[in-house]
Amino acid sequence: MGSKQSRRITAVLGSAVAVLAVGGGLSAAGAQEPAAPTVHSEVDPSVKAKVQAMTLEQKVGQLFTTYAYGRSADSPHPENKAEFGVDTPAQVVQRYHLGGLIHFNWTDSLHDPEQIAEHSNGVQRAALSSGAEVPLLISTDQEQGQVTRIGEPATQLPGNMALGAGRSPQDAAASARITGGELRAMGLNQDFAPSGDVNVNPANPVIGVRSFSSDPALAAQLSAAAVRGYQEPGAEGVSAAIKHFPGHGDTNQDSHTSLPVIEHTREQWEQLDAPPFREAIAAGADVVMSGHIVVPKLDDSGEPSTLSPTVLTGMLRDELGFRGVISTDSLQMDGVRQQHSDAEIPVLALQAGADQLLMPQNLPVAIDGVLGAVRSGALTEDRIDASVERILEMKRVRGVLDAPFVDPAKVDELVGSAEHREQAQRITDRTTTVLRNDANELPLRDPGRVLVTGAGDEATKSLAERIGARGPRTTALPTGMAPTPEQIAQAVDAAKGHDTAVVLTNAAWNEDNAPQRVLVRELQASGVRVIAVPVRDPYDAAYVESVPTWVATYSDKPVAMESLARVLLGEIGPTGRLPVPVPDPDAPGTERFPFGHGLSW
């Protein structure tokens, strides 16, 4: 999710072969942890009383979560004036009686843990000094891996697909527990994670490694574990949001820039898409986030699921029995804005069954639209009350109403602690997957001089540093997502002065990034020993048959590069197994590497 189109898109991938991979793949789960306290249909009397004492304007404000710009609650920022008509984040909160505030890197509000904690306290003071006097939900989408809003020194983890390769519910829960605990220490109390989408389509441009797996059972098991990890009781955890209902996994379109259509039948939905949502709800997920997708065989209205009563009320509430908060995905995304005005969209979302309205394109217009709908009778005030009660009940259950503030002086004791970093490294060490070792070159017993090249300035530098720290003379030479012929020639020339070339690929299967494949082929043809490493989707490994050694990391974070260095140099053995099949691009309908594949020694 994001605010402006240029900010929203992290990658728009091309098309590729779609594969459905169903069934199998679960290792022994061990004893499951009990579900944390959750939002349910019985609202606490104190919450009901609070809602009844609020004005209509205050109640409508509680439905909305949006961003504000500025390093502190009281920092003036020209973007606030342009979008909200006020100067500071505190004024945005107060003017619109906001129920929630969401952070992004581009909002100038995420710098370091202590600053984030001070910002959280400042906007909470603003909320409590407004007419509603209700603390805020403060959120981000810290999924880890590809979608990581808060970087170091916060503990970094490799993300969902890597956890799928590790196959451990305990690791999924621990990853979420680390993330949620650090967010809470910085004053955030809601995380729009995890993605429960089952990535059955390798051409998916918006989910990919954000998914745990193409296997519904594995995705369900790990989604539920993550929910339990995020939602540690009291002030230790955050509200988790399983997304994107009814399932965004089988599409080759991005709902940020289009309205994807998924042709799953009801039976396919039950088998493929529903399991992670069922299990996350059973685990006590506070929030389910809707997806801006059309599934005609579930609802033939043509409306995106976010605006569909059939999907949100009929399926999610009535069939799956979810009683918590339904959040929309960002209402700025093109997938929800193609058919209706910005004033109509929040009204339609509420009529469909949503509670939390995330990031409207124009906040004043959206609020006026909801107020106008109540005054015209299109929405009843009782309907508004029901959503506000669910939101406030979630705040009560998570301890936000009683303890909205944090201690900035203590934030560094927890965020990025040595214990968390060590645990994150152990988790990541269990995810690296060796796909090919045809020449039996791994582990590298005599790597000699090592060139690290390919996609990612930070990733190539990080891996080179980690290999170099172990003795080999190492050079980093990043070549980017689409290397030019000149960059490829430079890398090949550099490789001739080295004994081993480790080349990182990132979505090389995408035609836009096809020059990466040329780089890999020409390095191999140069005669140097080549180890190819997809640091995002593992699908790249099917595109260059001439390279005999492929290792998948599912992440380019330093923690993943450390695990990769350990595997390459034989410090640990590889234990990851593919959480998705890798299709053969030259033989549609067949797999180059099957689900569950992974070599070890």
Q: Which residues are catalytic?
A: 256, 329
Residue 347, classed as helix, strand or coil, is helix
**H or E element, residue 493:** helix 485-495
355 within 8 A of 63, measured Cβ to Cβ: yes
Q: Count CB-CB contacts under 10 A for residue 41.
A: 9
In 89-212, alpha helices (H): 89-96, 113-128, 160-166, 169-185
Token pair of 492 as six digits? 């090949």
Query: Beta strand 433-437 with 529-534: parallel, antiparallel or unpaired?
Result: unpaired
Rg (Cα) of the chain, in Å, rounded?
24
For 274, phi and psi rounded to 5 degrees? -70, -35
Cα–Cα distances in angstroms (integers) from residue 538 to residues 9, 562, 565, 566, in the given order: 21, 18, 18, 19
Token pair of 161 as six digits? 């697909």
Angle at CA 98, nearest 5°, toward 93 and 102?
Answer: 85
Q: Count CB-CB contacts under 10 A for residue 21.
A: 24
Q: Count CB-CB contacts under 10 A for residue 424.
A: 24
For 241, phi and psi rounded to 5 degrees? -130, 110
C-alpha span between 46 and 554 (Å, rounded): 46
- Strand-pairing partners, residue 376, are none
77 within 8 A of 88, measured Cβ to Cβ: yes
* Closest listed residue to residue 457, CA positions, set 475, 479, 485, 473: 479
**H or E element, residue 549:** strand 549-552
Angle at CA 274, nearest 5°, toward 430 and 265?
Answer: 125
- DSSP string over 201-242: -TT-SSSGGGSS-SSHHHHHHHHHHHHHHHT-TGGG--EEEE
C-alpha span between 154 and 179 (Å, rounded): 8
Give 511's DSSP letter: G
312 within 8 A of 354, measured Cβ to Cβ: yes
* Closest listed residue to residue 3, CA positions, set 365, 306, 361: 361
C-alpha span between 576 and 538 (Å, rounded): 12
C-alpha span between 518 and 532 (Å, rounded): 12
Cα–Cα distances in angstroms (integers) from residue 2 to residues 269, 545, 579, in the given order: 28, 38, 28
C-alpha span between 46 and 55 (Å, rounded): 16
Q: Is 125 exposed, middle or buried (0-12, 13-18, 19+ CB in 10 A)?
A: middle
Residue 451, classed as helix, strand or coil, is strand
160 within 8 A of 199, measured Cβ to Cβ: no
